[in-house]
């Protein structure tokens, strides 16, 4: 397997251990090191991670977030 795939797999596991399968905007703000949810939403729009509505809440799939973070490292 490629190192890129392994990096995604490792990041996915780390995020799943911390946040589970779905992340809130607060989780993303913390993980990305941003000071406001607005910045996290801008990052989500830039990388193309889609929101999932669950009841009244909006969540983001941890696996997609992990891939976007690793892809952003320039390993592609």
The enclosing domain of 52 has a CATH number of: 1.10.10
Residues found in the chain: 76
Number of domains forming the structure of the chain: 1
Task: With respect to residue 53, please indicate whether it lies within any of the assigned structural domains.
Answer: yes
Task: With respect to residue 21, please indicate whether it lies within any of the assigned structural domains.
Answer: yes
Predicted confidence (pLDDT) per residue in 32-71, tens digit: 999 999 999 999 999 999 999 999 999 999 999 999 999 9
pTM: 0.90
Give the count of beta carbons closer than 10 Å to the beta carbon of residue 24: 15
Task: With respect to residue 10, please indicate whether it lies within any of the assigned structural domains.
Answer: yes
Task: With respect to residue 76, please indicate whether it lies within any of the assigned structural domains.
Answer: no
Q: What is the pLDDT of residue 75?
A: 55
Q: Between these two residues, 51 and 72, which has the higher pLDDT value? A: 51
For residues 36-62, b (16+ Cβ closer than 10 Å) or e, as one string? eeeebbebbeeeebeeeeeeeeebbeb
Task: With respect to residue 36, please indicate whether it lies within any of the assigned structural domains.
Answer: yes
Mean pLDDT of 20-28: 98
Judge whether residue 76 has pLDDT over 80: no
Q: What is the pLDDT of residue 29?
A: 98
Domain with 19 in it: 3-71
């Amino acid at each position: 397997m490629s190192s890129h795939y392994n990096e995604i797999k490792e990041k996915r596991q780390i995020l799943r251990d911390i946040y589970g399968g779905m992340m809130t905007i607060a989780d993303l703000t913390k993980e990305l090191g941003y000071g406001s949810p607005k910045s996290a939403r801008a990052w989500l729009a830039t990388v193309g991670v889609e929101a999932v509505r669950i009841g009244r809440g909006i969540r983001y799939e941890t696996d997609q977030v992990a891939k976007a973070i690793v892809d952003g490292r320039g390993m592609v």
